[in-house]
Amino acid sequence: EYTPGGTLRSRHPKGTHLPFEQIVTYVKQIASALDYAHQQRVIHRDVKPENLLLNAKGEVVLTDFGLAVVQRSLDSLSTSNPAGTPLYMAPEPIQRHPCPASDQYALGILVYEWLAGEAPFRGTLFEVFSHHLSEPPPSLCERLPDLPVAVEGAVFKALAKDPMQRFATVQDFARALEEACFTTQPLSVHTPIEAVSSDHGTQSATHPLPVAREQDHAPPLQYPAPRTPLPAGYGQIVSQR
């Protein structure tokens, strides 16, 4: 499928604050694709803006399944290094036990980033892994006083350290965000006018199932699992790809 809209990273560069309604539109489409993959027992393992493309209709296409695994083959990963992009990795893939809820966590990080303008955890590789494993994300309501509490609650549930405490499906997460959007007062977020260009049109609330396909991207680096204690000087600055 031809995707002339580029990636969501190129459409919305780092530091961009998206309107909540736009975030809900994206999340509903991404969640549909992820849940379809999960129904086929496939875990994506690298959900991030660079792997989300926009087709000619402005619909999100989930791409780059280079790190995807089938659930029945997870035992073979027990001795492997954690793979993915550190800023979006859930605790369990860092510990070499990815599951479908790991993709939901990555999407939760994306929503946090789109709301706050930056990911919740930053720093060296060791610091980012450590935060994912044990630190709660900084409060969204403190950063965005107009943000409905229900929105923060939905995002933080998707970011629960224990995957069993997250939503049962990714689409349940999407529905919770949508309900928070339309059952509370409109959210006022300071958004650069260029962040939502009228050249690309307005996406409708109903979208067909996003297409999941492979793309010839270079695979993300695989990172060694954190050990306790780590050698001095181990951490390197995390790449903001």
Catalytic residues: 46
DSSP sequence for 121-166: --SBHHHHHHHHHH-PPPPHHHH-TTS-HHHHHHHHHHT-SSGGGS
The CA-atom distances, in angstroms, between 232 and each of 158, 216, 235, 238 are 33, 36, 8, 17
CB 63 within 8 A of CB 52: yes
Cα angle for residues 83, 5, 64 (degrees, 5° grid): 20
The whole-angstrom separation of Cα 101 and Cα 190 is: 31
